[in-house]
Every structure is written in C-alpha cells, then in structure tokens.
C-alpha cells in the first residue's frame, strides 16, 4: 500500500469526538481522513455505549410498564413475555443503522475513511495496520487523537465478558441473570442495573464511596437512591470487593466495609464491573513523539486542544473533562475550528449530565454543595413533580426540580431535575446558563400547559418569589 497523499487533518478514532471533528473539518474545507480500528464508526457511544444502552433501557421500561403500570391505566392483557433475542436484535438494528448513517455522512462530506489501527510515527504521520490486511501511512498537516476510553478494570477482578462482564457484556447477555451484582454506582452501572432489574434480575450495587453518582446534587441524589430502592435495587455503599470466586456455577464475591471489618459473600450469576473508564492510548506511539499525559493517562492539551507537540491535537474521553459523548463532539468542533484558523469554544460549565433511568435525572451547572463551597450567597427554588399536573395526569409524578441561583443577581447557577424526560427538559436550563439568565427570566417565559417543563418554571418562581401551584 502506498502512502496516502498528505491531507490537512488526520483523525485517529471514529467516535463522537473523532467522527464529528472529521465531518466539521471537511465542512470547513479541510481535506480530512479518519482512521478507525473497530470496523464500524460511532465509537464507544454508538457501538457499545449511549445508543445500545438507551435501546435496552427503553425496551425494558416498556416491559416494566406493561407489567406493573398498564392495568392501573385500564389496559389489561394476559401472557406478557420477554423475548430477549428480539429485544437484543432491535438494539443491534438501531446501532447498525446509525453506524451506517455515519459512513453515509463521511461520503457526503468527502471524508476519507481508513479502517485500521493507527499509530503515530511522527507528528505528521500515522502508520495504519489495515483491517483487511497490509499497512499504509497517512500523512497530515494536523493530527487529532480521538481514541476515547476503555473500561477500567479492578485489581483482582478479571473481566471475562461471560460471568464477569463490562458494560459491553452487560449489553449483550444471552439470558436474564437471576442475580446481578454491579460494582460501581456511577451512571453506567445504575443504567445497566436498571435494565436487568426491570427484566427481573435481583440487582445489588456495591460501591466503595458513601454515595451513588458522586457528581449529583446531594438532595436529588438521596431521592434518586430512594426511587431506585423502591424499584427493588439494593445498595451496599462504603463497601469494597476483596475477593472473587468463579469456580462454581455463578460468582461468589467477597466484600467488606470500605474502612475494613467483617467480610460477607455475595452470590450472583453475573457481575458487572462499572468502576469507571480510563483514557485509551495503548500502542498509539505517544512516547515516540513525546506527547505529555497526566498521572491518570489523559493527554494534556491547551485551550486550542493542541498537545505539547506542534500540530498534534487531542479531544474527547482521552483528555481531561467529563467523559460524555456530547462533550467529545463539542471538543471536536472547536478543535477543527482552531485548525481552520477560526475561533472555537467549549463552555465546560454548561455541559449537561443525564442518567437515563426512570425517571431520568438531569443536571447542568453547579450543585448546591458546590455553590455553598464557593462562598457565593445563593437561593434555592424547588418544585415537586407531585404538584405538576402533567406528571399527575400520566401517573408518573416521582421527582423534583431544584434551581440554585445567585442571591444578589438571581443568575441561575445550577438546575437539577429528576422527572420523566428530564434529559430533554434540561436543555432549557442549559440555554439559560449559557445566556446568563436569571430564575425570573425562566419563570416569566410562557411554558405550555400541561407539560412537565412547567415544573422548572415553578421551581424558578420558588427561587425568587413563590410558586403558584404549591
Ligand atoms: P470513543 O467513543 O471511545 O471512540 C474512540 C474510537 O477510537 C473507538 O471507536 C476506538 O475503536 C477508536 N480507536 C482507538 N484507538 C485507535 C487506534 N489506534 N486507531 C484507530 N482507531 C482507534 N455518554 C453520553 O454522553 N451519554 C450517554 O448516555 C452515555 N452512555 C454510555 C453508556 C455506556 C455503557 C458507556 C460505556 C459509555 C457511555 N457514554 C455516554 C460515554 C460515551 O460513550 C463516551 O463519552 C464517548 O463515546 C467518547 O467519545 P470519544 O470520541 O472521545 O471516544
């Protein structure tokens, strides 16, 4: 294979960071090549992350609703069954359709797609082991590393993707486990735990820290945990895993209190390890060209996303910041805008976070704890879903909206929502933070009735004056 002609931008990795950067670069008139080793585009997010998990969350929610809520709404039937292979195949079809869609977008935007494993051999050259044999070298004036992240393993807990699985294995189980232990109470563990819990597994979540999802506002987190417990998920917080035995039929997990103490054994059919993710930089040739990383293995970049090596950039999960698909996309766009000689910008203070359980939990900006710690005088407004007419009408009224605003100016500093479709509603708050809006700005904005979004308007009213419906 001959060296591919030099291009303006070479992107290593075709995930949400890499493929979006490649398309945007091409749209800005830069000749662009994207190298991906997986065989399909879309990265972790599309292949084994955001998309398949949301497909299973939706399917399992439908089953759970049919089983536990439909009769209450006067919809009755008998012989409710789960067809797991059909559920998995709808998920796989959604993934396949979307990855093909990105290939189509590459063609439309004239992005060259190279299927293979890329390795930097100089600051402007990437050697590629092609998936269908042979190798080539791709040259670029600018190189963007968008290689994402991988599952973090736990010492002594070997992931075999059979009995001890990562999120990837948990998205493709062949049978519904009777007992599932989830190690790690972050959003991925809770989402995957929810899927199997709804399908009938007994789910126990083991977490070293004293709380689930540590980044969440404390008050919302408490309600969230209570809600998950109501859904029959069990939690063992401040607990560490000290031993694993897979010799029998299932898995025996020995645990003990985080601070030390009496050990106990948890029996399960499947153990899901979801104790975080780690930047993926293996065999990338970073040492060869001298790219600087932090202690956690993340690539260090400046405000223009450039590493310490001129012309070599990095974006997404492989650099510091929240490991989220939409953050990776924003990085990608800003990075190529800089490369094209324009101004790029990512506001990390307004990146929303969503946990796609039911109800969903979504937030943007600062938690009350963070605002308190910063010393800014603030006021809080709240509105329970129980007082929201739409939530009551659809009998889905578990949750709360909480707004934190600066006392002196009423500027919104953080919004935290636990509600059905919170992941959609949150964008009103994202926009508010982006434009420096006050809680009064939101409260004086006309909201359609009856919608769950009205709960945000009411929480804003409660921030600077009084809610109407409370
Ligand atoms: P990735 O998506 O990891 O893509 C990197 C790509 O680079 C990979 O395809 C990899 O094969 C390729 N690559 C690596 N090395 C090389 C090489 N040497 N040569 C060629 N190619 C290479 N985020 C959300 O925002 N919302 C969610 O709901 C959500 N749900 C998730 C659920 C799960 C189960 C998981 C695991 C993650 C979830 N995430 C979610 C996180 C999200 O998937 C990541 O933040 C996002 O994919 C990061 O994008 P990226 O482009 O930086 O990296």
**Nearest ligand 1 atom to alpha carbon 54:** 28
Q: What is the pLDDT of residues 55-98, one digit of tens each?
A: 999 999 999 999 999 999 999 999 999 999 999 999 999 999 99
Residues recognised as catalytic: 449
Three-state SS across 113-175?
EEEEEEEEEECCEEEEEECCCCEEEEEEEEEEECCCEEECCECCECCCCCCEECHHHHCCCCC
Q: Is 152 in the pocket of ligand 1 (CB under 6 A)?
A: no
Question: How far is the centre of ligand 1, averaged over its atoms, from the C-alpha of 254 (Å)?
Answer: 31
- Greatest pairwise CA separation for the chain in angstroms: 71
Q: What is the ipTM of this complex?
A: 0.99
Average pLDDT estimate for 344-373: 98
∠ CA 224-421-409, rounded to 5°: 80
Which residue pairs, CB below 8 angstroms and at least 24 apart, start in 186-190?
186/213, 186/274, 186/275, 186/276, 187/213, 187/353, 187/355, 187/356, 188/53, 188/274, 189/272, 189/274, 190/228, 190/233, 190/355, 190/357
- Does the beta carbon of 146 lie inside 6 Å of ligand 1? yes
Q: Is 145 in the pocket of ligand 1 (CB under 6 A)?
A: no
Rounded Cα distance, 121 and 288, in Å: 7
Is 78 a known ligand-binding residue? Answer: no
User: Dihedral (C-alpha) 160, 164, 168, 173: value to the nearest 10 degrees?
Assistant: 110
Q: Does residue 3 carry a pLDDT above 90?
A: no
Query: Which residues make beta-bridge pairs with 293?
Result: 299
* % helix, strand, coil for the chain, step of 5: 35, 25, 40
Q: What's the whole-number mean pLDDT along residues 293-302?
A: 96
CB distance 423 to ligand 1 below 6 Å: no
What does the pLDDT look like over 210-219, one tens digit per residue? Answer: 999 999 999 9
* 151-189 per-position pLDDT tens digit: 998 998 999 999 999 999 999 999 999 999 999 999 999
Query: Rounded to 5 degrees, what are φ and ψ at 92?
Result: -60, -40
Beta bridge partners, 127, equal 119, 137
* Ligand 1 center to 385 CA (angstroms): 34
pLDDT at 4: 62
Give CA separation, 358 vs 65, 212, 231, 286, 355, in Å: 11, 16, 10, 42, 9
Q: 44 C-alpha to center of ligand 1: Å?
A: 3
List, as one string, the DSSP characters of 429-457: HHHHHHTT-BHHHHHTS---SS-TTHHHH
Average pLDDT over residues 267-282: 96
pLDDT at residue 2 tops 60: no
Binned at pLDDT 50, 70 and 90, residue 324 comes out as very high
Residues of the chain above pLDDT 70, percent:
99
**Is the shortest distance between the CB of 190 and ligand 1 below 6 Å?**
no
pLDDT band for position 6 (50/70/90)?
Answer: confident
| pLDDT digits 0-9 by tens, 138-156 | 999 999 999 999 999 899 8
434 preceded by a cis bond (ω within 30 of 0): no
Q: What pLDDT score does 238 carry?
A: 98
44, burial (CB in 10 Å: exposed 0-12, middle 13-18, buried 19+): buried
Write the pLDDT tens digit of every residue in 103-141: 999 999 999 999 999 999 999 999 999 999 999 999 999
pLDDT at residue 1 greater than cutoff 50: no
Distance separating alpha carbons of residues 264 and 92, to the nearest angstrom? 38
How many Cα atoms within 13 Å fall on the side-chain side of residue 454? 19
Q: How far apart are CA 274 and CA 272, in angstroms?
A: 6
Give the Cα separation of 245 and 54 in Å (integer).
31
Residue with CA nearest ligand 1 atom 45: 324
């Amino acid at each position: 294979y001959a060296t591919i002609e030099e291009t303006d931008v070479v992107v290593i990795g075709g995930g949400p960071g890499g493929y979006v950067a490649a398309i945007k670069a091409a749209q800005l008139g830069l000749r662009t090549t994207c190298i991906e080793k997986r065989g399909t585009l879309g990265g972790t997010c599309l292949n084994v992350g955001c998309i398949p998990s949301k497909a299973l969350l939706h399917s399992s929610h439908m089953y759970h609703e049919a089983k536990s809520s439909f009769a209450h709404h006067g919809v009755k039937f008998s012989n409710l069954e789960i067809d797991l292979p059909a559920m998995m195949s709808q998920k796989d079809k959604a993934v396949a359709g979307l990855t093909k869609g990105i290939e189509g977008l590459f063609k439309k935007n004239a992005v060259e797609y190279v299927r293979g494993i890329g390795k930097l051999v100089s600051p402007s050259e990437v050697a590629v082991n092609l998936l269908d044999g042979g190798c080539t070298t791709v040259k670029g004036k600018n190189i963007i590393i968008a290689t994402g992240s991988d599952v973090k393993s736990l010492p002594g807990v070997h992931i075999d993707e059979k009995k001890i699985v990562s999120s990837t294995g948990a998205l493709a189980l062949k049978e519904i486990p009777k007992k599932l232990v989830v190690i790690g109470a972050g959003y991925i563990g809770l989402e995957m735990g929810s899927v199997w819990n709804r399908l009938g597994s007994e789910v126990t979540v083991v977490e070293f820290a004293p709380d689930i999802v540590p980044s969440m506002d404390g008050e919302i987190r408490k309600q969230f945990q209570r809600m998950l417990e109501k859904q029959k998920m069990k939690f063992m917080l401040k607990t560490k895993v000290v031993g694993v035995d897979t010799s029998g039929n299932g898995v025996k997990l020995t645990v003990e209190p985080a601070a030390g103490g009496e050990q106990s054994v948890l029996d399960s059919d499947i153990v899901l390890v979801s104790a975080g993710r780690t930047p993926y930089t293996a065999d990338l040739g970073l040492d060869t060209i001298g790219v600087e990383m932090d202690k956690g293995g993340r690539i260090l970049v400046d405000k223009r996303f450039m590493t310490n090596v001129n012309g070599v950039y990095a974006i997404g999960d492989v650099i510091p910041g929240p490991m989220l698909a939409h953050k990776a996309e924003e990085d990608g766009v800003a990075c190529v805008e800089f490369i094209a000689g324009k101004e790029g910008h990512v506001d990390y203070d307004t990146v929303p976070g969503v946990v796609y359980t039911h109800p969903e939990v979504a937030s943007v900006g600062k938690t009350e704890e963070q605002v308190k710690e910063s010393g800014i005088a603030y006021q809080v407004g709240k509105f329970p879903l129980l007082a929201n007419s739409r939530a009551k009408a659809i009998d889905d009224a578990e949750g709360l909206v909480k707004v934190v605003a600066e006392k002196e100016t009423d500027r919104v500093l953080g919004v935290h929502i636990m509600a059905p479709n919170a992941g959609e509603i949150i964008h009103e708050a994202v926009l508010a933070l982006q434009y420096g809006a006050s809680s009064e700005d939101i409260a004086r904005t006309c909201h359609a009735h009856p919608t769950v979004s009205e709960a945000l308007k009411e929480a804003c009213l409660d921030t600077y004056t009084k809610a109407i419906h409370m």
